[in-house]
Structure 1
Amino acid sequence: MTSALSGLRVLDLSRVLAGPWASQTLADMGAEVIKIERPGAGDDTRGWGPPYAKDVTGNDTSEAAYYLSANRGKKSLTIDMTKPEGQEILHRLAAECDVVIENFKVGGLAKYRLDYASLSEINPKIVYCSITGFGQDGPYKDRPGYDFMIQAMGGLMSITGAPDQEPGGQPMKVGVAVADIFTGLYATIGILAALRHRDATGEGQHVDLALLDVQTAILANQAMNFLTTGKAPGRLGNAHPNIVPYEAFPTADGYIILAVGNDSQFRSFCNVAGIGHLPDDARYATNRSRVANRETLVPQIRQAMVMKSTDDWIAILETANVPCGPINTLDRVFDNPQVKHRDTVRYLDHPTAGKVPTVANPIKFSKTPIAGETAPPMLGQHSDEILRKVADLSDAQIAKLREAGII
């Protein structure tokens, strides 16, 4: 079967995470992604380790795990874009591509004639996606933006972590770079929408993605909690601002997540937990009342939960149709039978490591399945292939460029 995006070609000028996450997603769905990297250095994340992938003898390769997480399915071409000869090659490639992705600072590519205005003259159908910290306009447009600071500026850290009055209470970032990853996913959505418009009208366009915009957008219900009340929500640790009980509870041997989403589930939970009288108390009969009276309700639930082990509670609560789950470490995540059944971890052939693991794209298509994934490329692994096939250069021309340090 052909993949959903077979025949689409992407010129990927991005590096680190947000841009590469977008281009990896497009590659997973069948697009040919040409990753442009600096000769001799490549994407910064190649060196963001340890850990690194191991070669067949057990020694570290040059491929950091961080780099491997965001560059599956691509082809690597090394070009010095600061040189006119390098820019000319990129212009040739842009003329043959459908999409360009870049995450340089605003205006940073104009001096190389690789900005949207320049490339759209060469290819009016190009969909050009720019990813920056703060967008292409506004008072902050020239500032650099990094995930950690965006999580802070965008309000996420103000609602993440334990309250100040609890031990260790302080604002916390999320354990993965969610501002970057969500921006990569929104970029993918924007690119696909722009391609739909291009296919209908024949014209490309500039897609402008900002980490701060995305971080603000994904505040979701918390943003609306503020906008409807004018009161900024605070940190509740693992508790939910709008649903009770919906948090982590200690058990006899650890913790369990209890996610009671409606009044019926609350009654079922109370019946099996030995606190069946609580749903008949007006203070706890509805979710609205439970949210208002969480300070008196939650201690009673905690007292019941510590009487049994996590595994015992899971068995009991699943039988009663009460949503719950353990707090798994990553070794338990990847050993989970459901995760295994969904073919979440795959092993891809690699030139020096033999095989490298990857976490599969979670999209399951019935007609155009994700297939044929390849390992993240070695630096410059596909340079000659791309220059011959796409840029239409001869072997002699390629050799001359290599001798001059352009590729």
Structure 2
Amino acid sequence: MKHNSGALNGIRVLDLTHALAGPFCTQVLADHGADVIKVEPLDGDFFRRMGPFTEDDQERHYGGLFQSCNRNKRSISLDLKSAEGKDILKKLAAEADVLVENYRSGVLDKMGVGYETLKTINPRLVYTSVRGFGDKAGGASPYIDWPAFDIVAQAMGGWMGITGEDADHPVKVGGGAGDTAAGLFAAFGTMTALWHARNTGQGQYVDVAMTDSILALSELVVSQYSYVGVSPQPVGNRIPGLAPFGTFKVKDGVIAIAAPHNAQFHLLCKMINQPELIGDPRFANEPLRWENNVELTQRIEEFTTLHTKKELRELFGGKIPFSPIYTAEDIFSDPHFEARKMLPKVDQPGSSKKVSVPGVPVKLSVSPGEVRSRAPMLGEHSQEILEDVGFTDENIKLMFEKGSVFSGKKPL
């Protein structure tokens, strides 16, 4: 399953991650050509057992969540508690450029395969960890041993405190943004460390915390409190200081409009047949429009509630920043996502039909990333990966028989 395309072709990544944050990081690297080897325990990444599953899939090697963040990877399944498993990991690390893991802090150290051990085997190794509250390398948090999921990162990092209709009803961002934001930062950090390693031969530890990643994207929280000592509160779909900016009721649902600047606002007023709003002193400039945004919203909805999403699309589309609120069905039927190859199809083991996964959003003109292959079955590539690092067929057979390596011959 090896390939020779993508900007990161030639880089080997050991992926000792599970759930979403770590796998998303390594998938970004795999999409752009890195050879990512997913090193899983004998019972596999627990995300394999998460749905959804297709109706005809009786094998259930993995569900949709695993498929969505593990394409383009190879899998080997090891018992890292065994001497053979640790030996294999060390051999793999000796030839790897990167290792990414998201175990609890100190777990791999206690097993004898942590950063301090592996860097003596491979001084140029970039070792990246993604944890809820980071590791001691970047500053030991008092919560270093706390477990975390997406909602924990969003709650502590600042997003939930400003998301929702009011302070009594905080809402997390849909999807696992607390994981994927951290995964993106981890991928970026890994690449910057790789650049350094290529120039100097020196690897390093890349320490990423999910909570830090959310805070880094909470510019409103930091600027409001730092500059004026105010803790911002949830304001629904609006942004303080900008109006009109948010969601507006229409005849058959809700749409999003963002026309806060004078030129955009003046054009909107003309399109909704209310040019008198341009000369209204309450809406004369951006700060005043925000101050009077409730009244402004009411005036705009006097027009939008008389029209359908389709009618408003024809009126506003291409003229002011606007969109209907899309459902999954809308996304799958919109030509934008087809033109941008954002819903590629891959095989699903155990199913007769192909399934879609999110595409590669970064488009490179010369060395583009791509979805080349489905997510691997557990241990699917154990044989070829062991051969890569010099184990003989006889040795491999013995490890399979002892159970220190899973041969990948049967589903979970």
Q: TM-score, normalised by structure 1?
A: 0.94
Amino acid at match of 1:258: I
Unaligned runs of 5+ in 1: none
Provide the residue aligned with 1:158 in structure 2. Answer: 161
Q: How much does 1:135 deviate?
A: 1.2
Which digits, 9 at most, give the CA deviation of each residue in 1:355-383, with x for residues without a partner? 34222111111110224611100011000
Aligned to 1:368: 367
Moved more, 368-377 or 392-401: 368-377
Q: Give the Cα separation in 2 of the matches to 1:118 and 1:352.
A: 40
Aligned-partner Cα distance in 1 for 2:377–2:15: 15
Distance 1:119 1:204, change over 3 A: same
From 344, 351, 355, the equivalent of 1:346 is 344
The whole-number CA distance in structure 2 between the counterparts of 1:53 and 1:33 is 26
Shift in Å at residue 351 of structure 1? 4.8
Structure 2 residue matching 1:359: 3-state secondary structure: coil
The structure-2 alpha-carbon separation of the partners of 1:3 and 1:35, relative to structure 1 and needing over 3 Å to count, comes to: same
Q: Which position in structure 1 is the counterpart of 2:48?
A: 46
* Equivalent in the alignment of 2:144: 141
1:264-275 matches, cutoff 5 A: 264-275=263-274
Cα separation, 2, equivalents of 1:266 and 1:293? 14
Contact 1:35 1:77 in 2 (8 A): yes
Aligned residues: 397
CA positional deviation for 1:2 = 3.4
**Is the CA contact 1:134–1:212 (under 8 Å) kept in the aligned structure 2?**
yes
- SS of 1:131's partner is strand
Aligned to 2:410: none
* SS of residue in 1 equivalent to 2:344: strand
Corresponding residue for 1:30?
33
Q: Is 1:9 equivalent to 2:12 in the alignment?
A: yes
Separation of aligned partners in 1, 2:142 and 2:85: 33
Which residue in the other structure is 2:408 paired with? none
CA distance in 1 between partners of 2:70 and 2:233 (Å): 37
How far off its partner does 1:53 sit? 4.1
The percent identity for this pair of structures is 37
Q: Distance in 1 between matches of 2:157 and 2:371?
A: 38
Give me the whole-angstrom Cα distance separating, in 1, the residues matched to 2:190 and 2:282: 49
- For residues 357 and 316 of structure 2, the distance between their equivalents in structure 1, rounded to whole angstroms, comes to 33
Aligned match of 2:70 = 71
Cα pair 1:273 1:304 within 8 Å, conserved: yes
C-alpha distance in structure 1 between counterparts of 2:54 and 2:121, whole Å: 40
Note if contact 1:52-1:62 (Cα within 8 Å) is conserved in structure 2. no
Superposed displacement of residue 353, structure 1: 3.1
Distance 2:101 2:250 in 1: 48
Partner of 1:19: 22
Aligned with 1:283: secondary structure? helix
After TM superposition, the score normalised by the length of structure 2 is 0.93
- Equivalents in 1 of 2:41, 2:219: separation in Å? 38
Structure 1 CA distance for aligned equivalents of residues 165 and 152 of structure 2: 19
Structure 1 counterpart of 2:324: 326
Which residues of 2 match residues 89-238 of structure 1 at below 5 A? 89-136=88-135, 137-163=140-166, 170-238=169-237
Distance in structure 1 (CA, Å) of the matches to 2:299 and 2:281: 15
2: distance between equivalents of 1:228 and 1:186? 26
CA distance in 2, matches of 1:275, 1:281: 11
Q: What per-residue deviation string (whole Å, max 9, x for no partner) do you get for residues 241-269 of structure 1?
A: 23101111111221111111411110100
Question: Please, which runs of 5 or more residues in structure 2 have no aligned partner?
Answer: 406-412
Q: Residues 317 and 349 (structure 1 numbering): CA distance in 2 closer, same or farther, change over 3 Å?
A: closer
